[in-house]
Amino acid sequence: MPRPRPFVDAHLDLAWNALYFGRDLLQPLEEVRAAEAHMTDVPWRGRAMVCLPEMRRAHMLFCVATVIARAGPNHKRQATQSRHDLDYPFPAAAYAHAQGQLSYYRWLDEQGTVRILRFARDLDQHVTRWKQCPEEAPIGMILSMEGCDPIIDPSHAAAWYRDGLRAAGLTHYGYGRYAGGSGTDGPLTPEGVRLLAEFERLGIALDVTHLSDRSMEQALDLFGGPTLASHHNCRALVPGFRQLADQQIRRLIARNAVIGVAMDAWMLYPGWQHGVTSNCVVGLEAAADQIDHLCQLAGNADHAALGTDLDGGFGNEQTPFDLRRMRDVRKLIGMLEARGYTPRDVDAIFFGNWLRFFRSVLPPAPP
C-alpha cells in the first residue's frame, strides 16, 4: 500500500492553546471538543480543529509551532486592545510566558509525541523515520516566534536560538517593540533593525507575516537571510491589510521564499465580518484560489504551501464550510488535481516546499 502524501503546516499555536485555553492536545479531537462544550469564554469553545491525534490523522510530517506573548507599546497603554491570553505589561513577563510555552513543547518532545527539529540532521532523520512508519513516528516540530516581544533585547536572540528557535516574525497585531504590525503603518524600530542583523548572524529565518507594509518593505531591504510568510494570503483576492499585495509576493518569490496559505475564513472571503458572516459563504476552493494565485505569479508551484493557523483563536465557526477538522485540509489535493496540478506540484505545495526551505535554514548538525 502506498504511503500517504505528507502534510506540512507552517503555523500552529499549539502551546498557546494548551496553556491559556486548557486544551489537552494529547486527547482525540472529539474529546477536546466535548471537554469545552459547556464553556462560553470565547466563541470557538467546542469547535477545536487541532490536536496531536488529529494532526497524525492528517498525515502531518512536521509543523512550525509558535510561542507568542506580546509586550508592545500599544498593548500596554490601551486597555481596549489588551488581551489577558496574549498581553503582558513588560518584556520580561512576555519572556517568562513564552518560555512556559517552550517548556510545553519540550515536555511533548520528552514524551516522544513530537520531535523538535533543531538541525538539518534532525530533519533528515525524522523524514526517514516517517517514511518508514508514519503511524508510529512522532510529529516533527520547528520552533518559531509570532511577535518578538519575548526577546528582551536583540542580544538575547542568541539565547532563544540555543533554545531551538529557527524562525520568527517581528511583531503581531498593533505596534510591537520591534516593528509595526497588522493594522498599522508603523516602521521598524531601531531595536528592530538591530534584531534583524542578529537574526541574519544567527541564521534565524524572518517570517514577514503580520508586518505592516512599511515594516515589511524595510525588513526586506535590510535582511539578507532566509525569508518566509508562514500564514499569509493574497490581497488581490481578498483585500485588506492582513494580506500580501502582488508586489510583495513577487519580491518574496525573488528571494526564494515560501508562502503558506491560511485557512481563516476572513482571509478567504472578501468583506467577512467576525461574528456576523456565516462560514457557509466560503469553501476550501477559496484556499485553492489563493494557492493558484501564488503559483500564477511565480510561474510554478515552488513557492506556495500551507500555513493553516487552524488553532489561531478560532474554530470551525470561522473556517470554510467543508473544513471541519484539520484532516479536511487534504481535500485540497483533489481540488488542485482537478485544476491541472501535477502530482509533483501537489507534493511541493503539501510538503516539499517547506521541506526544502527548512532543510536550507536549519544548521547542519550540533557544533
Helix axes 246-254, 285-298, angle to 10 degrees: 60
pTM above 0.85, yes or no: yes
Is residue 323 within 8 A of residue 315, CB to CB? The reply is no
Euclidean distance between CA atoms 256 and 356, whole angstroms: 11
Euclidean distance between CA atoms 85 and 155, whole angstroms: 26
Euclidean distance between CA atoms 231 and 233, whole angstroms: 7
What fold, for 7-361?
TIM Barrel (3.20.20)
Helix axes 213-222, 246-254, angle to 10 degrees: 20
Nearest-5° Cα angle at 147, 293 to 318: 50
Euclidean distance between CA atoms 27 and 282, whole angstroms: 29
In sequence order, what are the beta bridge partners of 87? Answer: 70
Q: Where are the domains of the chain?
A: 7-361
Of 184, 118, 174, nearest to 147 (Cα)? 174
Is residue 141 within 8 A of residue 362, CB to CB? The reply is no
What is the DSSP code (8-state) at residue 351? I
Predicted local confidence at residue 74, as pLDDT? 63
Element (H, E) at 66: strand 60-67
Beta-carbon contacts of 142 under 8 Å, excluding residues fewer than 6 positions away, are 62, 63, 64, 65, 116, 117, 166, 167, 358, 362
Predicted local confidence at residue 81, as pLDDT? 56
220 CB neighbour count, 10 Å cutoff: 19
> β-strands 139-146, 205-207: how paired?
unpaired
Euclidean distance between CA atoms 130 and 59, whole angstroms: 10
**For 145, phi and psi rounded to 5 degrees?**
-125, 125
Residue found by looking up cell 509595526 in the block: 180
- The string of DSSP letters for 191-206 reads HHHHHHHHHHHHTPEE
Residue found by looking up cell 462544550 in the block: 37
233 CB neighbour count, 10 Å cutoff: 29
> β-strands 114-116, 304-306: how paired?
unpaired
Is residue 181 within 8 A of residue 87, CB to CB? The reply is no
Instruction: Give the pLDDT of the chain (367 residues) as one tens digit per residue.
Output: 567 899 999 999 999 999 999 999 999 999 999 999 999 999 999 999 999 999 999 999 999 999 999 998 865 444 445 688 899 999 999 999 999 999 999 999 999 999 999 999 999 999 999 999 999 999 999 999 999 999 999 999 999 999 999 999 999 999 999 999 999 999 999 999 999 999 999 999 999 999 999 999 999 999 999 999 999 999 999 999 999 999 999 999 999 999 999 999 999 999 999 889 998 999 999 999 999 999 999 999 999 999 999 999 999 999 999 999 999 999 999 999 999 999 999 999 999 999 999 999 999 998 8
Predicted local confidence at residue 167, as pLDDT? 98
Residue found by looking up cell 517552550 in the block: 102
Predicted local confidence at residue 79, as pLDDT? 42
Euclidean distance between CA atoms 250 and 257, whole angstroms: 10
Helix, strand and coil in the chain, % to nearest 5: 45, 15, 45
Instruction: Find the radius of gyration of the CA atoms of the chain.
Output: 19
Euclidean distance between CA atoms 146 and 9, whole angstroms: 15
End-to-end CA distance of the chain: 40
Predicted local confidence at residue 77, as pLDDT? 42
